[in-house]
Structure 1
Amino acid sequence: MAGLDKDTPLPTDITLHRQSRVLEIGFEDGRSFRLPFEFLRVYSPSAEVRGHGPGQETLQQGKRDVDITGLEPVGNYAIKPVFSDGHDSGLYSWDYLYELGLQHDELWQQYLDRLAAAGGSREAGAVPPAAPKSGCGHHH
């Protein structure tokens, strides 16, 4: 993952709203985005979620009540949220967060469409536990 695009504004303010489960991020160009934890979790840039190419994404389900329990700064170009479901391998660079903010409505709709197509659910209780994969080849 390359460094920052030189045109990306830097965040001036990052606030975790735990009650409403929203990450608020303000950028130096004056824009401010409110990104729900669930949205961030579903669009995690980690390989585990994105797979290793288009169409390889793992559809995330049952994340409606996911929390962010911690935020770790990574260098001066990204943050690494720690989610309550144990997911902590996503590095969210400033340009990625900015993009998520700009495209939030569109991306969220795409997610809902994919979820509907898969017969999935955003409710944690509705997701059957993942069947253990045989062979258990754990690769990171």
Structure 2
Amino acid sequence: MDAPTDITLHQKSRVLEVEYPDGARYELPLEYLRVYSPSAEVRGHGGPMELVTGKRDVGVDKIEPVGNYAIQLHFDDGHNTGIFSWEELRELGDNYEANWKEYLARLEQAEASRDQTRH
């Protein structure tokens, strides 16, 4: 998988823009990247995928390269264990609409919210 030609973090709109050499371009909301993080605790290695809630306003404090194959996003909620490979980012971009629809359906089924609950 080719590395992206450009990765831009848009803090204000909370979007990670990823462009590939073949012209493919994705605007991936940070909330989407957070709830589909490739980390073990979110992806449910050994069990079902965790339903991550309350991340509508999540941001990214820092992006770190991981070798020549991935980036690590440091989310402002403290989550930073997901390594997003170039292939993973491409897959998340290609499948955004279906994934997002599935996520919203899972939220509704669980009667959960994209908004952070206040205690």
Where structure 2 has 5 or more consecutive residues not aligned to the other structure, the ranges are none
Quote the RMSD (CA, aligned, Å). 1.2
Whole-Å separation in 1 of the counterparts to 2:73 and 2:45? 21
Matched, 1:116 2:108: yes
- Aligned pairs for 1:55-74 (under 5 A) are 56-74=48-66
Secondary structure at the aligned position of 1:125 is classed as coil
Q: 2:15 corresponds to which letter in structure 1?
A: V
Q: Is the 8 A contact 1:63 1:122 kept in 2?
A: yes
1:40 matches 2:27: no
Match status 1:28 vs 2:13: no
Deviation, structure 1 residue 9: 3.0
- The one of 39, 59, 81 equivalent to 1:89 is 81
Find the residue that maps to 1:120 and give its secondary structure: coil
Give structure 1 regions of 4+ aligned residues with deviation exceeding 4 angstroms. Answer: none
Quote the residue 1:138 is aligned against.
none
Sequence identity percentage: 55
User: Which is higher, the Rg of structure 1 or of structure 2?
Assistant: 1
The count of corresponding residues between Structure 1 and Structure 2 is: 119
Q: Aligned AA for 2:104? A: L
Report deviation, 1:92.
0.3
Q: CA deviation at 1:108?
A: 0.3
Counterpart contact for 1:9–1:29, Cα < 8 Å: no
